[in-house]
Structure 1
C-alpha cells in the first residue's frame, strides 16, 4: 500500500506516523471515504491528505476519536467536510484547545523544535460539528461505520469507530508500546469501558498510538488497568503495572 498505508481489513487502512507514533485511519467506500483523526497541525494534516489522495479521489468525512491536540488540531484542513465526534469532545476542545496549544508550543520550543512549535501555534482550533451522544451510524459509500461512545476512559468523551466488517479504531482507549496516558483519564471507569470494547472486538483493533492489536490485547490492557486501580486504592503506587510517574498520574485522577 502506498504512502505509508497498511491494509488491516478490506478497504480499511492504517497510517502509523513516526511523530508521536500516532495512527490515522482510512475507510474506503463507493465514491466516499472516512478519515479517522487529523494529526497535530495543518502541515501534518496536509501530509495526511496527500496520503489519502494517493489512495482515493473521493470526498471524505472526518472523525475525531477525542479532543487531544495530536488527534484533532488538523481538522480545518479537511473542511468543508463533516467532522464527527462525541458531544463531549467538541465541548472539551472549545474549553481546553488554547490551553493545550500553549502547553505543546512551550514544550516544543523548550526542545528546540521551533518550526513545529510555530505550526502548532498557527493551527486553527476547529471543533467537530456532527455530534454523537451514544451511537451514530454512518454510510460511507455503501459501507456502514458505527461511531460509539462506550464510557469514560482515556478522557470523558472517547469515540470508538467500528467498521462493519471487523476493524475497530479505538483511539487512545487502547495504547500499544507505551503505558496508557492518565492525564485526563477516569481510571476507575476505564476498565469497564475497555470491557465493552473487548466485547465488540472481533478483528484488528487500531490503538491511537502503536501497533495494531487484537481483542486479547484489549483484554490484557483491561486487566492492567484493574491492577492500577487496585494498587492506587491500596496505597501502592510504586507496585503497579506501569512506571512510577504513570502510576502517580493515575492516582491523581482516581475518583
Structure 2
C-alpha cells in the first residue's frame, strides 16, 4: 500500500488509509463545503493530508477530531484557518496533556530510530478545537447533514462519532479498531480508557444502523464486526471486574479472554 490512498466507501464519502500506524482519516464532500475527519500525527503529516484533500476538492473545509490522541489530532495546524469540531473534553485533554503527548511520542520515534518523525512531532503546534460538542451537534455542509455525537466514554472520555446519515457511514475513531487478525491491540487501552462503558458506546454506533463503520485504524468494517467487538469488550470488562473483586486470578482471566494475552494484560491493568 502506498503512503496514503483514498478509498470511496459511499457517494462523496472517502477514507484515506496510511501505512503509518495503519491509520484511517476521512473526507465528506457536499455542495458548499467538505469535512476532514482527523488530521494525522504532526504538522508535516497534516500538510500531506491537506494537499491530498485539495487533489479531490477545492471546497472550503471544516475539521472534526474524533479524540485527542496525537495520531488523530496533531496535524490540525496545517488545515487552518477553519472551524475545528471536537468533544468539549477533547479540547481540555489537548490543553492539559498535549505537550506531554508531544514529548512522549517524539521520544518514542527517536528511540525507534526515526529522527525525522520525532523532529516533526516536536515542532508541531497543538491546535485546540474551537467548536465544542457536549452530546450532539449537526453540521450543514450544503445539501448534506453530518451529525457529531458523543456516545459516552470508551476508548477515551471524549470520543466523537461522525455520522453521515444519507450515506449510512459512521467514522468511529478508535472506538473501533480493525487490527490484523483481530479488533484491538494493547495500545487500544490507555489511562483514559473506560472499559466498563466501552460496550455501551459501541451500542450507540449499532443504533445508527450504518452500512459502513470506519475504524480509527484498519480497513472499514460492517456492523457484524462492531457487534463482535462489543461482545468481546463486554466479556473483557466482566473478566476485569472479576479479577478486581478477587473472584478470578489474572492468570485465569488470560485463559478466558477473547483477546491475546498482551491485549488482555493491557486492559486488565
TM range, normalised to the smaller chain?
over 0.9
2:38 and 2:100 map into 1 onto residues whose CA distance is: 20
Residue 234 of structure 1 aligns to a residue whose secondary structure is helix
Match of 1:208 among 201, 213, 216: 216
Deviation track 1:61-82 (CA, whole Å, cap 9, x = no partner) reads 0000000000000111111100
Deviation track 1:181-222 (CA, whole Å, cap 9, x = no partner) reads 111210000011111111113211000000100111111100
1:225 and 1:241 map into 2 onto residues whose CA distance is: 8
The answer (yes or no) to whether the contact 1:237–1:244 under 8 Å persists in 2 is no
Q: How far apart are residue 141 of structure 1 and its match? A: 2.2
Aligned to 1:198: 206
The answer (yes or no) to whether the contact 1:39–1:72 under 8 Å persists in 2 is yes
Q: How far apart are residue 251 of structure 1 and its match? A: 1.6
May I ask how many residue pairs the two structures share in their alignment?
Answer: 251
Structure 1 residues 176-195: aligned runs within 5 Å: 176-177=178-179, 178-180=183-185, 181-183=188-190, 184-195=192-203
1:201 and 1:124 map into 2 onto residues whose CA distance is: 37
2:209 and 2:170 map into 1 onto residues whose CA distance is: 7
Residue 202 of structure 1 aligns to a residue whose secondary structure is coil
1:246 and 1:194 map into 2 onto residues whose CA distance is: 19
Deviation track 1:13-33 (CA, whole Å, cap 9, x = no partner) reads 000111001111000011310
Aligned to 2:72: 71
Aligned to 1:243: 260
1:66 and 1:246 map into 2 onto residues whose CA distance is: 21
Deviation track 1:118-167 (CA, whole Å, cap 9, x = no partner) reads 00000101111100000000001221000000100000000000002111
CA RMSD of aligned residues (A): 1.4
2:267 and 2:65 map into 1 onto residues whose CA distance is: 24
Which structure 1 residue ranges, 4+ long, deviate > 3 Å from structure 2? none
2:83 and 2:221 map into 1 onto residues whose CA distance is: 28
**TM-score calculated relative to the size of structure 2:** 0.90
2:206 and 2:73 map into 1 onto residues whose CA distance is: 25
1:130 and 1:201 map into 2 onto residues whose CA distance is: 26
**TM-score calculated relative to the size of structure 1:** 0.95
**Which stretches in structure 1 are left out of the alignment for 5+ residues?**
none
2:32 and 2:154 map into 1 onto residues whose CA distance is: 35
Aligned to 1:229: 237
1:196 and 1:31 map into 2 onto residues whose CA distance is: 29
